[in-house]
Structure 1
Amino acid sequence: MVITVPATSANLGPGFDTLGLALNLRNEIEIKPSNITSIEIYGENAEYLRSLKRNFFVEIFSDIYKNLTGKEDKFSFKFNNKIPLSRGLGSSSAVIVAAITAAYEMAQVPYKKDKIINLALNYEPHPDNITPATLGGFCVAKLKKNRVYFLKKFIPTNLRAIVVIPNKPVSTAKSRNSLKSHYPLKDVVTNISSTAMITAAFFSEKFDILKYIVEDKIHQENRMKLMPELFRVREIALREGALMSTLSGSGSTFFNLAYKDDAYNIYSALKDNFKDFNVKILYFDNVGVKVYN
């Protein structure tokens, strides 16, 4: 069995822990029955991941497979990672979603994707990444009483993502510690209105309005101060025609949305100005986690 899962970009500015979308940058895992458990890791951060005593994917997969079947069968796992760690591209959510899905597939137990999303909450309490990783597309998600309520919208093929991946990570925990504990009412209202407008823009496909209404007063500015170069990334992207330019998750990656005809100019300007960063043009993913048997 081969399972693939997309990277994600969450928050999208004001949509803190609520908005997210899937990018066609995929981790791939091959799983086979075996006499012994074996693990091979290739791609992004492979050397670091090989050095760890625990493999998060294998632990989740094994626990759920045993719960479903009552068995402790052995498997070989081969990982080909494309999603970098601790860069705000949903690497943890990708592992969780893929591991749960793989366990159900290998156990041959029927499931629906909303089941995967809600099981993933046991490992990742924020639905803004796990939902698009599972479903693909643009997703709005709300957590209430340990259940995720969500809506998904197909992202049109005339759009591209230009992501700027810095050469150093930002810890999600450290990033969250940079946030305030209290906010003025006017700032909260700004985020509510901006999040509502972004959602409406995606669902109505009126993307030109995004450049006027994407405004965050809750988290972005403080998080970006941990890597001040990101302010310049946003400035250049918007100047060159990006529809929106936001911190991806908790960072350090910056996400930029553009029409496909504008994507290369934005990419070139960012690449010229940030030679030490990894700049990519990506398609969007509208499928989410996929399995090939």
Structure 2
Amino acid sequence: MVVSVPATSANLGPGFDCLGLSLALKNRFSVIPATFTSIRIQGEGEGFSKFLVDNIFVKIFKESLAQQGIKENFEFSFYNSIPISRGLGSSSAIIVGALSALSHYLHGQLRKEEILEESLVYENHPDNVTPAVFGGFNVAVVEKVNGRLKAYHLRTQIPDYLKAVVVIPTHSISTKFARQALPKRYSNTDAIYNLSRSSLMAMIFMQEKWELLRLASKDRLHQDRRMRLYPVLYGVQKLALESGALMSTLSGSGSSFFNLCYAGDAPGLQARLQKKYYNFKVMVLDFENEGVQVEG
């Protein structure tokens, strides 16, 4: 089987750990029964020995089978397009990919709600894993039920007349390191500021009121503190908003920047960003509304 999982952009400004959407940039994971276990990586992560020795996908897949009393060997081939440690959901893609491969292997189908629930064992923030599983724009919350985390979520399709223009710097930022820049406490004013804007953003995606995105995407909880770790991102955001972006936000914990625009504005926005930030990769991407899939 070949399981494909899309990249994701989370937080989207004010929606810290609860808002996310899916991008048409995918990792593909091939799993084939074999006489002995082997791992091959092409694309992102290729040439890094640590991904061959300590591979999270392989560990989740084989340990989960062992719990079912199944001990078999497989040939694992990874075709990775999602940049690593750039805030585009590469870790979530691996987790969702492994659990989806397991679901298909055991049941012959993708049980997406179960995949989401199991994902929370490995990633307790649902903003990336939920759009990776279901595609589209997602609002997700986590509640502990009978001692176990459970995700509750709603989603909507993203229309094809919108595009994402994603700026991917050469500099990586680990999520763990970026979280260390955040304070332990926030003021009531800042909390209410974000609650109001994340609520507005959810309604914008439901009602397609895109002209309000610039207002709704403002944040006081995390974005500015994380951007200070890599100040060039302030310039990326400023230029994007001056060049047709409807919103411009740090993607996840960074270092990538997510820009949403109308399809007709995407080529010009990409060109202006690429001209100024010529060392970075600037990609125009469709949105992805299906989530994880078995392709073969």
TM-score range, shorter chain: over 0.9
Cα distance in 2, alignment partners of residues 137 and 284 from structure 1: 7
Alignment partner, residue 120 of structure 1: 119
Q: Secondary structure at the match of 1:121?
A: helix
Residue from 175, 180, 184 that aligns with 2:178: 175
Residue from 260, 273, 277 that aligns with 1:274: 277
Alignment partner, residue 261 of structure 2: 258
Provide the TM-score with structure 2 as the length reference. 0.96
Q: Is the 8 A contact 1:65 1:104 kept in 2?
A: no
Aligned length: 292
Q: Secondary structure at the match of 1:175?
A: helix
Q: Secondary structure at the match of 1:66?
A: helix
Which AA in structure 1 matches 2:223?
Answer: Q
Q: Is the 8 A contact 2:43 2:79 kept in 1?
A: yes
Equivalent runs, 1:101-112 vs 2, <5 Å:
101-108=100-107, 112=111
1:211-249 per-position Cα deviation (integer Å, ceiling 9, x unaligned): 223210000001000100000000000001101000000
Cα distance in 1, alignment partners of residues 227 and 213 from structure 2: 20
Q: Secondary structure at the match of 1:71?
A: coil
1:130-157 per-position Cα deviation (integer Å, ceiling 9, x unaligned): 0000000000000010100000100000
Structure 1 residue 111: Cα displacement: 5.2
Cα distance in 2, alignment partners of residues 198 and 236 from structure 1: 22
Q: Does 1:65 align with 2:68?
A: no
Q: Is the 8 A contact 2:34 2:75 kept in 1?
A: yes
Alignment partner, residue 168 of structure 2: 165
Q: Kindly, what percent of the aligned residue pairs are identical?
A: 46
Cα distance in 2, alignment partners of residues 213 and 95 from structure 1: 30
Cα distance in 2, alignment partners of residues 49 and 165 from structure 1: 23
Equivalent runs, 1:139-150 vs 2, <5 Å:
139-145=138-144, 146-150=149-153
Alignment partner, residue 230 of structure 2: 227
Cα distance in 2, alignment partners of residues 259 and 214 from structure 1: 16
Structure 1 residue 257: Cα displacement: 0.3
Alignment partner, residue 14 of structure 1: 14
Alignment partner, residue 75 of structure 1: 74
Q: Secondary structure at the match of 1:223?
A: helix
1:111-143 per-position Cα deviation (integer Å, ceiling 9, x unaligned): 521110010011111100000000000000000
Q: Secondary structure at the match of 2:182?
A: coil
Residue from 151, 155, 177 that aligns with 1:152: 155
Q: Is the 8 A contact 1:61 1:100 kept in 2?
A: yes
Q: Is the 8 A contact 1:41 1:49 kept in 2?
A: no
Q: Secondary structure at the match of 1:222?
A: helix
Structure 1 residue 93: Cα displacement: 0.3
Q: Secondary structure at the match of 1:148?
A: strand
Answer with 279-288 or 103-112: which moved more: 103-112
Alignment partner, residue 45 of structure 2: 45
Which AA in structure 2 matches 1:123?
Answer: Y
Which AA in structure 1 matches 2:142?
Answer: L
Cα distance in 1, alignment partners of residues 206 and 51 from structure 2: 43
Cα pair distance change 1:218/1:51, threshold 3 Å:
closer
Cα distance in 1, alignment partners of residues 59 and 187 from structure 2: 43
Equivalent runs, 1:86-97 vs 2, <5 Å:
86-97=85-96
1:241-285 per-position Cα deviation (integer Å, ceiling 9, x unaligned): 101000000000000000101111110110011011110000000
RMSD after superposition = 1.2
Structure 1 residue 63: Cα displacement: 1.6
Structure 1 residue 185: Cα displacement: 1.1
Cα pair distance change 1:223/1:63, threshold 3 Å:
same
Q: Is the 8 A contact 1:65 1:106 kept in 2?
A: no
1:67-126 per-position Cα deviation (integer Å, ceiling 9, x unaligned): 34x211111011110011100000000000010010121123655211100100111111
Q: Is the 8 A contact 2:93 2:129 kept in 1?
A: yes
Gaps of at least 5 residues in structure 1 are none
Gaps of at least 5 residues in structure 2 are none
